[in-house]
A = this chain, B = another copy of it.
Amino acid sequence: MTVGREDGPVRPRLGRAPSTTHAEISHVALTLFMERGFDQTTIDDIAREAGIGRRTLFRYFPSKNDLPWGDFDTLLGRMRAHLSGMPDDVPMMEQLRIAILEFNRVPEEEWPYHRRRMDLLLHVPTLLAHSTLRYASWRQVVAEHVARRLELPEHDLIPQTMAWTCLGVCLAAYEQWLDDGSAQLLDLLDEAFRLIDERIDTKVVQAHRGAQG
């Protein structure tokens, strides 16, 4: 999952100016996590290194687990908008593939951080667990779209399973990316989706018709 854009340069008109940014703190944290490990790094370490107070850090991030994630919700909103704005004549799985690839596009200057980030998120147990909450929102977006396209209720088995499958495909591709230092993330994701693509589309449409007929 792509994470970690930054707060725009929007100046508040009133009050004291923020002394730091989400990205700055996140980068400091990622560096420390990679150096000493997640569990061996305390919130105080991060706050000290970032030159801010402990209490301030908790105003930027609700928990230690959220530090590696950036502004996920904004990206998710963008994906929802992207999906719902797509023309209906594009096959559903292709819509999903395109939107998910776009979601996982990361600006080049974030690349080195992104790899560390995902390595942590997928391999540190605490973070792996916490990720579920983010994935749930992500799945929701996928399920919504599938449900709309197939004219099924959101909680129906088909959209739900489809969302899980998409998540699985993404995470499998991410694991490959982390293993194989040389490959491009978007290539792996694209390949993975194309491999599963048509078969799932067929499957879902069949299953849908089967359920109706």
Contact = CB atoms under 8 A, between A and B. Distances in A.
Instruction: Report the copy number of this chain in the oligomer.
Output: 2
A161 B165 contact: yes
A169 B203 CA distance: 14
Interface in A129-148: 129-133, 136
Main secondary structure of the interface of A (DSSP, over half): helix
Given A132-B132, A195-B207, A195-B211, A160 B168 contact: yes
A29 B155 CA distance: 30
A107 to B, nearest CB: 27
Interface residues of A, number: 36
Interface in A105-158: 125, 128-133, 136, 155, 157
A42 interface: no
Interface of A: 125, 128-133, 136, 155, 157, 160-161, 163-165, 167-169, 171-173, 175-176, 179, 192, 195-196, 199-200, 202-204, 206-207, 210-211
Given A161-B169, A199-B204, A203-B203, 16 more contacts: A128-B133, A128-B136, A129-B133, A131-B132, A155-B172, A157-B172, A157-B196, A160-B168, A160-B171, A160-B175, A161-B165, A164-B164, A164-B168, A165-B165, A195-B211, A202-B203
